[in-house]
Structure 1
Amino acid sequence: MSASCGPLDTLIKKFTNRDQGRRKAAELRLLTAIESTQRGLTASPSSKQDILDAVSELEDIGRCTVTTGSDLSATWRLLYTTEKETLFILKNAGWLGKEAGEVFQVIDVENGSLNNVITFQPNGFFIVDSSLDVVGEQRTEFKFRGAKVKLGNRPFSLPPFGQGWFDTVYLGRSLRVAKDIRGDTLVVERDGPPKSFL
């Protein structure tokens, strides 16, 4: 959260509706910009700039708001990412004899958990399980606990391999935008309450 945010700024953001029209327009602008990018796989330089501009506007709207409360808990479906590992798996799932399906981020703030899930058709998955700690009004830290991959009949486990943080710079009713420790951007939509894919 910006250092220029004070208690009064936060209260004004919480109780005013003055940004509703701007919020809806910026959300629509972002959704339009990412629509034909295949979750980021085919984003052109011009679409990347349009996405960056829309994200910046939503980030400004989200400034001085708390985005790490209970509203963050959900199953979030991926719409767009710049995260190279996710895009690599989506692009190359065919090497595994599978077709990439939906991608989810499952956050449960109360239970301190974060699961990143890439599904494979018809019934496979790659799940990275992490602990989650709220450390600020927009920042959460995570630490990987392990991973599971299922490509056939049984899942197999992989060791944990990292930690980091992400800021939820914008949190709407159905749309969330996050930026992480590596400078990647994530755009996801609410897909329901937290659920298990195991």
Structure 2
Amino acid sequence: MDLALAFATQLCPASAKRTIHELKPFSMNPGAAVKLSFHKKFSCSVAVAPDRIRQVSEVEVENKKHDLLRAVQETQRGLVATADQRSVIEEALVTVEGYNMGEPIELGKLDGTWRLQYTSAPDVLILLEAAARLPFFQVGQIFQNFECRDQSRGGVVRNVVRWSIPTLLEEQEGATLVVSAKFDVVSARNIYLQFEEIKVQDINISEQLQALIAPALLPRSFLSLQILQFIRTFKAQVPVRRPERRSVGGLYYLSYLDRDMLLGRAVGGGGVFVFTKAQPLKL
């Protein structure tokens, strides 16, 4: 009996109600006291467990996200990833995806601009490979911009690629390629993209080309000024969707989404994507 009382005193704080004192002093079932003491321990633990579990979980998620970003940082957005690196990245992806698996898409979180950190999608890797091989072509930052705030079933997404031609355009951000699509939420985590337009805009010519068109030491003619203005405001738009043919589209699975990371998988073997939140774009 003394052992049971001493054990019960250690399990719950002094300020707590010590139910053990209510036991009859000469109980013929000493095991009941021990059983009650364990019950009190369980009750005390449950009172603090949810907050502690939540805090540990948030720290764990952030650590796993950092592990994923560390795994992709040396791959040049996936261009030079080896088979071993892709295996490590896939394992890190699956780990992060598991934290909110099955939760429905929150369009309020999805809204905004996301910068590409890594992909295995062939259509994007072709661009990166071309920039690596061709001295007259550069690819800068690649973004996805979602407009879906206050929406419930979909919105607009724009794939934005900054690119340049050295000596003719400004480094890295000489021009912008924008591929626009409408998207609809078709299940808890899937969206369907319906591509509508490809556009080239925001052309920023280099200082060398400006000097060639309108030399600084000579009076700028009306024609040279018109040429400069035309280049700066030039936009080329090509519709993807035409009435006489089916629209181009695809299914996209949002495998993870929080305030600063977006993971996606193009359904049908189109590759994986790792994005982090970026500053808003002016398009």
Residue of 52, 75, 80 corresponding to 1:42: 80
Residue of 113, 116, 127 corresponding to 2:156: 113
Whole-Å separation in 1 of the counterparts to 2:191 and 2:111: 12
Question: Residue in 2 aligned with 1:166?
Answer: 252
**Alignment of structure 1 residues 52-131 onto 2, 5 Å:** 52-93=90-131, 95=134, 97-110=136-149, 112-121=155-164, 122=170, 123-131=174-182
Structure 1 unaligned regions, length at least 5: 1-11
Whole-Å separation in 2 of the counterparts to 1:67 and 1:181: 16
Question: Residue in 1 aligned with 2:272?
Answer: 185
Whole-Å separation in 1 of the counterparts to 2:141 and 2:249: 24
* 2:253 alignment partner AA: D
Structure 2 unaligned regions, length at least 5: 1-49, 165-169, 206-230, 242-247
1:79/1:187 contact within 8 Å kept: yes
Whole-Å separation in 2 of the counterparts to 1:68 and 1:129: 21
Whole-Å separation in 2 of the counterparts to 1:69 and 1:96: 40
1:177/1:185 contact within 8 Å kept: yes
For residues 37-88 of structure 1, what are the alpha-carbon distances to aligned partners after superposition, in whole Å with 9 as ceiling and x for unaligned? 0000010111101110011111111213223421001100000011111111
TM-score scaled to structure 1, two decimals?
0.83
* 2:263 alignment partner AA: V
Q: Secondary structure at the match of 1:113?
A: strand
Considering fraction of residues, name the structure with more helix: 2
Whole-Å separation in 2 of the counterparts to 1:42 and 1:173: 28
CA change 1:196–1:165 in 2 (3 A) is: farther
Deviation at 1:89, TM superposition (A): 1.2
Identity, % of aligned positions: 24
Deviation at 1:168, TM superposition (A): 1.2
Whole-Å separation in 2 of the counterparts to 1:46 and 1:173: 29
Considering fraction of residues, name the structure with more strand: 1
Kindly indicate whether structure 1 or structure 2 has the higher relative contact order, using CA contacts under 8 Å at least 6 residues apart: 1
1:73/1:109 contact within 8 Å kept: yes
Deviation at 1:18, TM superposition (A): 5.4
Deviation at 1:175, TM superposition (A): 1.1
Question: Residue in 2 aligned with 1:8?
Answer: none
Displaced runs of 4 or more, over 2 A: 16-19, 66-69, 93-98, 149-155
- After superposition, the CA RMSD in angstroms is 2.3
* 1:142 alignment partner AA: L
* 1:101 alignment partner AA: G
Higher gyration radius (CA): 2
Q: Secondary structure at the match of 2:117?
A: strand
Q: Secondary structure at the match of 1:54?
A: helix
Question: Residue in 1 aligned with 2:12?
Answer: none
Question: Residue in 2 aligned with 1:4?
Answer: none
